[in-house]
Amino acid sequence: MVAQTILIIDDDVAVRTSLELGLKQAGFHALSVSSPEEALPAIKAQPIDLIIMDMNFSVDTSGEEGLKLLKDIKKDSPGIPVILITAWASIQLAVEGMKSGAADFISKPWDNDHLLRSVNTALAISSSRKTTGRAKLERKKLDSQYDLKNLVGENPEFLAVLDTICKISVTDASVLIIGESGTGKELIAEAIHNNSHRKNQPFVKVNLGGIASTLFESEMFGHKKGAFTDAKHDRMGRFEMADKGSIFLDEIGDLSLNNQVKMLRVLQDRKFEVLGSSETKSVDVRVISATNRDLSEMVAGSDFREDLFYRINLISVKIPALNERIDDIPLLVNHFLNNLRINYKRPELTVTRNALEWLKNLPWPGNIRELKNLIERSVLVTNKNSLDVDDFAKHYQAYRQRPAAGSLPPVGSATLDDMEISLIEQALKFHSNNISKAAKSLGLSRSALYRRMEKYGLDK
């Protein structure tokens, strides 16, 4: 196999020599130049598979020369991935580079293993984009090559999502999953992990919205006994638990600005300190994030750090809402029924064609989670084996018809789920959507309230 060629652009001879040596040892063909004037002719002279470049050169410490070179490279050779290598002091410049088309940025001094993972990831993504054709995607073909057993659907938009996650699963790229509550972001994250080379290693899930800001460091990085008043013993953090595997950062848009800074460092360098210890630990972990919020809008409003956004958003996957893939509703209904047939030992359960058509015409603001809850609620309450429109309609109406503020639905007109939903909504309204206060008034922890909100597809 012919070695892939990597071009290094840096005015520091020590950096060039070190990078060349490391890349050659890893099996790449490496060559280097010291200035933008040499770079473009070198790119035109021979095929280049990837570029590693600094943004600051001896004649220009502002980074503008490097930024112009990057833009020229992406204009003339848009298919060549570019990795920026930069000091922490110029991270904002690296973010500008990501906006201009860079594949990733690595901070100096770099870790060789981290750099090589970034190189291999960028090359793999570049290769997958080149081989992506216009042929019609087929679910059977995807299933024959990948483990997608928990992801149900054949809608073209959904198949495009599956095709993307299958291609990127083999890389170590950071992935941002975007979608409304209840669309199945966690299942997508699991599929990415299960089809990666890390599949036999831990998959650690973290609901960032359910972690109190003051407990963030302890939860994510762990603590030593005595680090704070209630630290009765050593505790391993989530990142350390996920070492060699994947970590799923759900609802990353709920992270406070203060904790975003702490998150950025571990995502950038894969290093952290346990609370109460000065020892720096390294971790090898693939990062998958998810949100139902518009992070771009949050960045514009200074509610989310731009550098963190580009760090988690190397690849983004947007999951269509259920009302955008209504042709998948019969498949989803059958999937849920199959589980219920087994769990409740009711093998004769079916849904009429009229009921399926009726379900397809509902708005589904709670997406797949709402559909699943409606199917299960209807099956549990009725003794019939064949469920028709009426069997679903009465439970759907009870679910949708909310009581006026200060009141609850009368006993007998709603299920316990309906009563719980009403209480949660009233508490959130009374406390102006303050999760901590609403949880306290309900006698719940923040994480317990978030779990219930997720269960019912409620958005604060």
Q: What is the pLDDT of residue 134?
A: 42
Environment class of 29 (CB within 10 Å of its CB; exposed 0-12, middle 13-18, buried 19+): middle
Alpha carbon distances (Å) from 258 to 5, 28, 255, 261, 327: 41, 40, 8, 6, 43
27 sits in the region (left: phi over 0; alpha: psi -120 to 50; else beta) called: left
**pLDDT tens column, 403-456:** 444 455 555 455 667 778 888 888 888 788 888 888 877 877 777 788 788 777
**pLDDT tens column, 199-240:** 999 999 999 988 888 889 999 999 888 777 777 788 899 999
Least confident of 87-101, 183-197, 351-365: 87-101
Domain 139-320 falls in which CATH fold? Rossmann fold (3.40.50)
**pLDDT tens column, 151-178:** 999 999 999 999 999 989 988 889 999 9
Q: What is the pTM of this model?
A: 0.77
Averaged pLDDT score across all residues of the chain: 87
Residue 136's pLDDT band (boundaries 50, 70, 90)?
Answer: low
**One fold for 139-320 and 323-456:** no
Structural domain boundaries in the chain: 5-131, 139-320, 323-456
Q: What is the pLDDT of residue 130?
A: 66
pLDDT at 57 over 50: yes
Environment class of 61 (CB within 10 Å of its CB; exposed 0-12, middle 13-18, buried 19+): exposed
CATH match for 323-456 among 3.40.50.720, 3.40.50.2000, 1.10.8.60, 3.40.50.11540: 1.10.8.60
- Backbone phi, then psi, for 162, in 5-degree steps? -60, -40
**pLDDT tens column, 302-312:** 999 998 998 99
**pLDDT tens column, 76-126:** 999 999 999 877 556 777 788 888 889 888 888 888 888 998 999 899 888
Q: What is the pLDDT of residue 434?
A: 84
pLDDT at 73 over 60: yes
pLDDT at 147 over 60: yes
Q: What is the pLDDT of residue 405?
A: 46
Distance in angstroms (rounded) separating the CA atoms of residues 390 and 123: 55
Instruction: Say whether the peptide bond before residue 363 is cis (omega within 30 degrees of 0).
Output: no
Distance in angstroms (rounded) separating the CA atoms of residues 180 and 178: 7
Whether domain 5-131 has CATH 3.40.50.2300: the reply is yes
pLDDT > 90: percent of the chain:
52
Q: What is the pLDDT of residue 90?
A: 66
pLDDT at 329 over 90: yes
pLDDT > 70: percent of the chain:
92
